[in-house]
Amino acid sequence: WEWCADWYRPGYPSGPRKDPRGPDSSDDPNEPGIPKRVQRGGSFLCSDLYCTRYLPGARGKGATDSGASHTGFRCVLSPCRTHEGRPR
């Protein structure tokens, strides 16, 4: 699973689909008062036999003070640009 910067809210996103900003705070009716962030994707522990959120676009939740060996983050770097403005 990949940690995301977005706070978790059930039913989100309901707004723009391209680069949505995310909610301003967390809200999980099942555990009120426990802040959660979005977790996406899946992990090496997932199998299509038991993990219903196995797809790369799957969206889960995790308490901000939790951790697991199969949860992490992804580094992203924009491509270098040439003088003409095109990616190398």
Give the range among 11-15, 29-33, 64-68 with minimum mean pLDDT: 11-15
Of the chain, the percentage scoring pLDDT greater than 90 comes to: 16
Q: pLDDT for 43-62, tens place per residue?
A: 777 776 666 656 667 788 88
Q: Which residues of 3-38 are buried (b: 16+ CB within 10 A; e: fewer)?
A: bbebbbbeeeeeeeeeeeebbeebbbeeeeeeebbb
**Residue spans per domain, the chain:** 1-88
